[in-house]
Amino acid sequence: MNDFVRIVEVGPRDGLQNEKQQVATADKIALIDRLSATGLKSIEATSFVSPKWVPQLADAAQVFSGIQRRPGISYPVLVPNEQGYDRARAVGVEEVAVFTAASEQFNRTNTNAGIDESLLRFEPILARAKADGVKVRGYVSTVLGCPYQGEVPLADVVKVAARLHAMGCYEISLGDTIGVGTPAKARAMLLAVAGEVPMADLAVHFHDTYGQALANIASCLEAGVRVVDSAVAGTGGCPYARGASGNVASEDVVYMLHGMGMVTGIDLAALAATGNWLAERLGRQTGSKTARAMTVS
């Protein structure tokens, strides 16, 4: 069994975009540079969406231009449309991500477009990215539940993930946006999608609303997934889902993986220190549970 797990650090984008307070551009740059020194190989840097919709990331170009990109590390950014792609490419972005949902109502609320419409928007992005030699990652949200429609049929999740993969996304991240999943449901969802998309091309992305994220990840690891999204210090949340807490903390995920005998290539102490540093910038006492425990010990 392959014991290497790649962590996709989403804190600088998915974490900070949902924080209530504005984070200084210099701090965003410092955060990414600190994360680059921990051994992470994938760090989602920012999002080139309209500042009107996501004011927390209005400085996307300045952030990406200011970070020290290290060899062997990918710094993907989110792009919702061709305009976002243009802005990203203008500052040297080499990997982008596109996003949609398995829930029609959630997608319309989040992106002002239905699922089919959003996928049509991605076609020119995928075509241009292929011509430019730019990798594209795909996100599917609400894979285990929607704040509007409730249960999301597995068939809908499979269909959207398969379409993104067929369009050219090298990897599909399956997101439990509101954190309602449990281990058995998470595993069943993953295996259903893996029936259409190779397991090697799948990632999981869990929020920790009900404290199930680590258990869900462990269940999916047993099913064969080897890519996990997480956010340093557990930052984030979902503005469209009342009560949804942040992403699972990267420090907690890495601690669990190392305890399972998995290999990540990440320096846990450096990651925890970065989480505590970010927590201070956000006005919190400490970052994740793992960071707190390591600080006390």
Question: Residue 19's pLDDT is what?
Answer: 81
Question: Residue 65's pLDDT is what?
Answer: 98
Question: Residue 112's pLDDT is what?
Answer: 82
Question: Residue 296's pLDDT is what?
Answer: 62
pLDDT in tens, 9-45: 999 999 999 888 889 999 999 999 999 999 999 999 9
Question: Residue 243's pLDDT is what?
Answer: 53
Q: How far apart are CA 161 and CA 153, in angstroms?
A: 13
Q: From residue 222, how far is each of 42, 184, 196, 198 by CA, in Å?
A: 22, 11, 19, 15
pLDDT in tens, 68-111: 999 999 999 999 999 999 999 999 999 999 999 999 999 888 87
Q: How many CA atoms lie within 13 A of 142 on its CB side?
A: 27
At residue 219 the predicted structure's pLDDT band, cuts being 50, 70 and 90, is very high
Residue 285 has pLDDT above 80, yes or no: no
> Stretch 201-225: mean pLDDT, rounded?
97
> Stretch 257-267: mean pLDDT, rounded?
98
Question: Residue 26's pLDDT is what?
Answer: 98
Return the H-helix or E-strand segment holding 227: strand 227-230
Q: How far apart are CA 192 and CA 292, in angstroms?
A: 37
Q: From residue 197, how far is each of 30, 90, 161, 166, 243 by CA, in Å?
A: 36, 32, 7, 9, 32
The answer to whether residues 148 and 106 touch, using CB atoms and an 8 Å cutoff, is: yes
* Residue 96: strand pairing partners: 77, 136
pTM of the model: 0.95
- Residue 169's nearest CA partner among 199, 136, 121 is 136
pLDDT in tens, 108-158: 888 788 999 999 999 999 999 999 999 999 999 999 999 999 999 999 999
- DSSP annotation of 114: -
Q: How far apart are CA 55 and CA 141, in angstroms?
A: 21
Q: How far apart are CA 296 and CA 293, in angstroms?
A: 5
* Residue 6: strand pairing partners: 227
At residue 284 the predicted structure's pLDDT band, cuts being 50, 70 and 90, is confident
* Residue 97: strand pairing partners: 78, 137
The answer to whether residues 45 and 64 touch, using CB atoms and an 8 Å cutoff, is: yes
> Stretch 268-280: mean pLDDT, rounded?
95
Question: Residue 153's pLDDT is what?
Answer: 96
Residue 169 has pLDDT above 90, yes or no: yes
168: phi then psi, degrees, rounded to nearest 5: 125, 5
State how beta strands 135-141 and 6-9 pair.
unpaired
Q: Which tokens belong to 200?
A: 């090697």
At residue 242 the predicted structure's pLDDT band, cuts being 50, 70 and 90, is low
Catalytic site residue 238?
yes
Active-site option among 146, 169, 220, 238: 238
Question: Residue 132's pLDDT is what?
Answer: 98
Question: Residue 16's pLDDT is what?
Answer: 93
Question: Residue 171's pLDDT is what?
Answer: 98
Domains of the chain are 6-296 (3.20.20.70)
Question: Residue 288's pLDDT is what?
Answer: 81
